[in-house]
């Protein structure tokens, strides 16, 4: 069984610090165990409004609305949610709204749920085809550099950036009954 190191458990703090640094004021998400630490940090931050979504595609509207209102937003989702957003992603690209999306992967390393494999196997390609520049994080040591660069590119270059957090980074999901 994999035992997380300090850096692996600290990656949500690093991501949250970058969100604060670039002035993200809204974070949209569908609850996800892999992002629970980051979600909690955003919920506890009085400078960030956390928005629970019923579907990930609502998050695209959140990002667009925040940009039109002069704020920055981030979208947090699991790889299975990427497929829910395909049509809406065109809004970000066509309007030039900077967006950073953190995507936790399912359907790869040590996946126990076969229903996660189809979307997990194509999520990165779908994001690229939808206009996102994608950067994959395999190691907790890379979180600071990749998330920092991704946030800068998204909000100083008005680009759509997807930061893919590998299942190895997040650790094995355990089946519970």
Q: How do residues 5-19 score in pLDDT, each as one tens digit?
A: 454 559 999 999 999
Lowest mean per-residue pLDDT among 8-22, 53-67, 125-139: 8-22
Q: Which residues contact 57 (CB under 8 A, 6 or more apart)?
A: 84, 85, 87, 88
What's the pLDDT score for residue 107?
Answer: 87
Mean pLDDT of 71-81: 96
Rounded mean pLDDT of 7-34? 92
In sequence order, the 6+-apart residues with CB closer than 8 A to the CB of 55 are 30, 81, 84
pLDDT beyond 80 at 146: yes
Place of tokens 């309007």: 95
Q: Which of 73-82, 101-110, 129-138 shows the lowest mean pLDDT across its residues? A: 101-110
Specify the CATH superfamily of domain 6-169.
Thiamin diphosphate (ThDP)-binding fold, Pyr/PP domains (3.40.50.970)
CA dihedral 124, 127, 133, 139 (to 10 degrees): -30
38: left (phi over 0), alpha (psi -120 to 50) or beta: alpha
Report which of residues 173 and 45 the model is more confident about: 45
Residue 43: the pLDDT is 98
Q: Quick one: pLDDT at residue 175?
A: 63
Looking at residues 90-101, what average pLDDT do you find? 96
């Amino acid at each position: 069984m994999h035992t997380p190191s300090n850096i692996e458990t600290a990656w949500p703090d690093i991501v949250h610090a970058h969100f604060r640094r670039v002035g993200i004021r809204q974070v949209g998400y569908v609850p996800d165990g892999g992002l629970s630490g980051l979600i909690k940090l955003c919920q506890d931050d009085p400078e960030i409004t956390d928005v629970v979504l019923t579907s990930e595609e609502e998050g695209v509207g959140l990002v667009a609305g925040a940009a039109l209102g002069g704020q920055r937003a981030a979208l947090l989702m699991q790889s299975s949610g990427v497929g829910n957003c395909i049509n809406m992603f065109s809004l970000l690209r066509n309007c030039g709204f900077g967006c950073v999306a953190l995507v936790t992967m399912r359907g790869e390393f040590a996946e126990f749920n076969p229903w996660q494999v189809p979307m997990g196997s194509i999520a990165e390609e779908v994001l690229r085809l939808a206009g996102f520049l994608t950067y994959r994080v395999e190691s907790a040591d890379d979180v600071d550099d990749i998330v920092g660069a991704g946030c800068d590119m998204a909000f100083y270059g008005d680009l759509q950036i997807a930061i893919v957090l590998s299942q190895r980074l997040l650790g094995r999901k355990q089946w519970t009954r």
